[in-house]
Amino acid sequence: MGISNWKEHYDKVEAIPSIGPSTYTKFLNFLSVTVSGKTALILDKRIIDVANSHVFEEFTGSLTALRYPRYLERMHSIANTLEVEAENLEFFLFEFGLHLKERVNGA
């Protein structure tokens, strides 16, 4: 089963007390749900912090629950370019993203 209209869908989820984007996207990921045609990935604070750190050039920007489909599109696109599974990219960014070093002089 997939979710085609994320905003409408997430509006209903926000009404559930104590369920934030991290918990809900974990739930979607574990159920292998698609959102806007992309396999759900986890969007939690650490991934958001990696995007905000601008250390991984291809993965920057402001991520929010309402921008979740954009996050999925970006992650799947980067994963396709790198020829890896999107879940593996997600895990890499979660585990190591805050420890990446900035590029110096194009190196």
Please state the pTM of the whole predicted model: 0.87
Alpha-carbon 84 to chain mean position: 15
**Rounded distance, CA 73 to CA 41, Å?**
10
For 19-43, the pLDDT digits (tens) are 888 999 999 999 999 999 999 999 9
- Residue 50: Cβ-neighbour burial (10 angstroms; 0-12, 13-18, 19+): buried
106 pLDDT band, cuts 50/70/90, is low
pLDDT score for 99: 85
**Rounded distance, CA 73 to CA 33, Å?**
14
Q: Where are the domains of the chain?
A: 2-99
Rounded percentage of the chain residues whose pLDDT exceeds 70: 93
100 pLDDT band, cuts 50/70/90, is confident
75 pLDDT band, cuts 50/70/90, is very high
